Chains A and B, each alone.
Chain A
Amino acid sequence: MIKSPLKVMDKENIRRAILRISHEILEKNKGTEDLCIIGIRTRGAVLAERIKESIQQIEGVEILAGILDITLYRDDLTLVATQPVVHETMINFDITDKKIILVDDVLFTGRTIRAALDAIIDFGRPASIQLAVLIDRGHRELPIRADYVGKNIPTSLSQVVEVVLQESDNKTDMVKIEDRAD
């Protein structure tokens, strides 16, 4: 049992994971044709932007990018104590017939991804949706899996996975696991 916070990824690990995922996306999709990337607020959007930049460096092509806020699609709106703050969704392109790479930081129960899929499908009919995550921590409650994974980390339900990214948290990139306080 891990007692103190355990750092499972540092800045360099995260950078390499994003570079590898970018290469895997290009390999699987045979280039950048019809490719676009949508990040789930907040940290998924940061990671999506990094993958986009990485793909631009590799291929020299700028792919379309959007940001998705899934608050209005959550299935637990009546269960949470305080109102989740709604942020703007910014998908300024037609997603019909596009190959969409959906990006989030941690894949856990799969409920966030379920909500994101519903939200995307309200915007149009994409050719395909693929999922990229930095961390897969297991414990799925829905039949959802990731196509691209930065790191698989087996966790217990009592643990919390914290992803820190420079752009959203103003601190050096890292991923750590902590036991929940209670």
Chain B
Amino acid sequence: MAEWTKHSLLDLKSLSVEEIEMILETAKSFKEVSSRDVKKVPALRGKTVVMLFFEPSTRTRTSFELAAKRLSADTINIAASSSALSKGETILDMAKNIEAMNVDAIIVRHSCSGVPLVLADNLSASIINAGDGCREHPTQALLDMFTINEKLGKIKGLNISIVGDILHSRVARSNIWGLTKLGANVTVCGPSTMMPAGIEKLGVKVSYDIDAIIPESDVLMLLRIQKERQDDKRLPSIREYAKIFGVNQERLRKAKKEVLIMHPGPTNRGVELSAEVADGEYSVILNQVTNGVAIRMAVLYLLLGIREPVSA
């Protein structure tokens, strides 16, 4: 297997196929750790991981925290609302102050694209992007790829459709980068007002008709309509979106027998998918969550497992 050389995980755009495969392969071993009675190994004992979340999160934050704790690292949570940012400190100053307390990794989520890149350029701690604006959410895409590979045995050649608000979705972007690198045929589908101009340059097909793409899809990845990011009116109403793009039992009748229904969460039942579909036989939404811990353990282990190369 190739050697891991990256110091931070900022996006999938900058990862090679080998690096993505290495994370997915390493995660397989870590999944077993979470199934034990004693869900803890000493690999990162003595390391400190700080989580800087400037946006609300339950799944990703809990998942990262569990991943770090199961590797025996110490974790600290900083919520933006209770931080010194409200006193006028810049993010960079704040991060530098945290780093000055000798932390090994900073996991950051921010509503502005590129914040993790700025931190990585200015700090020596490992930076892990837990979602930056509309740009990337690399660990989510990695856990999606892990789940697809686990359920269908491969990624190469699969027809994977990403449906919803592509414009605002960092999950979609990370998945497009990752899945196309691993050889999947990716189609993005959604209302034209939520389709970024030029998205086909990333190597994806564009569709505006979900019923046309369902029959050939091996995976349907549904995205949440992000109410917090709808600054301008892009949809006449949520109800109309549900009617035209929402996945329900009726629509799924035309789907492949082994189709996977995926969702990065949180789901809005009755909007992007119906409750029966979310809890139905094709849904792997909770498998995604389980696999998320393994992926984040693999990422933390690869980034922090060694301090620096030594000449032995």
Contacts and interface: CB of A to CB of B under 8 A. Distances in A.
Partners in one complex: yes
Contact of A85 (B26, B38, B311): B26
B310 A77 contact: no
B111 to A, nearest CB: 33
Given A81-B309, A122-B41, 7 more contacts: A69-B29, A77-B43, A79-B310, A83-B302, A86-B29, A118-B42, A119-B41
A66 B137 CA distance: 37
Interface in B1-59: 1, 3-4, 26, 28-30, 32-33, 36-38, 40-43
A134 B305 CA distance: 30
Contacts of B33: 72, 89
Contacts of A79: 310, 312
A77 B43 CA distance: 7
Interface string B92-123: 00000000000000000000000000000000
Interface in A28-83: 69, 71-73, 77-83
B307 interface: yes
Contact of B32 (A77, A81, A82, A88): A88
Contacts of A88: 28-29, 32
Given A78-B306, A122-B40, A83 B4 contact: yes
Given A77-B306, A78-B306, A83 B3 contact: yes
Contacts of B28: 88
B301 interface: yes
A92 to B, nearest CB: 10
Contact of B38 (A73, A86, A89, A123): A123
Name the prevailing secondary structure of the B interface residues.
loop
A122 B35 CA distance: 12
In the complex, which range does the number of interface residues on chain A fall in? 20 to 34
A87 interface: yes
B301 A86 contact: yes
Nearest to A96: B37
B43 A72 contact: yes
A5 interface: no
Among B29, B36, B71, find the residue whose CB has the most chain A CB atoms closer than 10 A. Answer: B29
A102 B42 CA distance: 20
Contacts of A86: 26, 29-30, 298, 301
A72 B41 contact: yes
Contacts of B29: 69, 86-89
A81 B4 CA distance: 11
Interface in B269-308: 298, 301-302, 305-307
A81 B28 CA distance: 23
Q: Which residue, of A69, A83, A84, A119, has the highest number of chain B Cβ atoms within 10 A? A: A83
B29 to A, nearest CB: 4
Nearest to B71: A72
Interface in A106-152: 118-119, 122-124
Contacts of A82: 3-4, 306, 309
Contacts of B305: 77, 83-84
Given A83-B4, A85-B1, A118-B42, A123 B37 contact: yes
A78 B4 contact: no
